[in-house]
Amino acid sequence: MVTASSQAPMPNGVMVGGIDDFPVGEFKILDVKGREIGVYRTTDGRWFAARNLCPHRGAPLCRGSVGATMLPSDPMEFIVGMDQEVVRCPWHALEFDLKTGESLFTDSTLRIGVHNVVVQDGNVWVDPRPKPSTRN
């Protein structure tokens, strides 16, 4: 439920709807101050937001799948990790960390735009400013 008295939990935050407006396990793509941003709600109650644009070839990133990935491992060993924290581009299957935006486990320096999401009083807020890189 959207209430007029909601205070933004972050400066310039944009309230994008109530919790129930967001289906679990899929991106909902919104226009947030002129940027296309996909908001994703995980089955265990975490929220991610990513810009709907892959920096590699310009794909609509949020048409890609969100899930786990294989962590670097020894030959013929598979270690599943990062459940619901990885978005795979629908075109070249490049993987990005939804928490930081960074490319995963390759020498690629490509990075997607990711945004803070805060749920407060049943409302979902997105920071329209992308998170800074965590790399040096």
Partner 1 sequence: MTDVIDANSSRGAAPNNPAVGAIDTDVHIYAPEGMKSLYPYLPAGLRKTFEMRGTTASGYIWVPQKYDFPHGDRRRVDTFPPGGGPPGSDPKFAQADLLDRYAFSGCVMSSLEAGLAGQGFFGVDASSAVCAAYNKVALEWYEVDKRFRLAMVVSSVDVEGAVAEIKSMGKHPGVVAVYVPLTSVPLGNKHFYPIFAAAQEMDLPIFLHITAAEFTHQGVPMAPFGTMENFSERRVSYAFLGPPVLNSLMFNGVFERFPKLKFAFAEFGFSWAVGLMCRMDATWRFARAGTPWVKRPPSEYVRERVRFGTQPMDDPSPEDMSKLISLLGPECLMFSTDYPHWDLDAPGHILSGESDETKRMIYRTNAQETFRW
Dist. CA 34–CA 27, nearest whole Å: 18
Dist. CA 14–CA 118, nearest whole Å: 10
- Output the smallest distance, CB 88 to partner 1, in A: 8
- Output the smallest distance, CB 33 to partner 1, in A: 9
Residue 9 or 17 having the CB closest to partner 1: 17
Question: Hey, what are 98's tokens?
Answer: 């939804």
Residue 64 or 134 having the CB closest to partner 1: 64
Dist. CA 24–CA 6, nearest whole Å: 23
Residues 6+ apart with CB under 8 A from 67: 83, 84, 86, 88
- Output the smallest distance, CB 16 to partner 1, in A: 5
Binding residues for partner 1, rule: CB under 8 A, are: 14, 16-17, 27-32, 36, 38, 52-53, 56-60, 62-65, 88, 90-93
Strands 117-120 and 114-115, how do they pair? Answer: unpaired
Residue 45 or 58 having the CB closest to partner 1: 58
- Output the smallest distance, CB 30 to partner 1, in A: 4
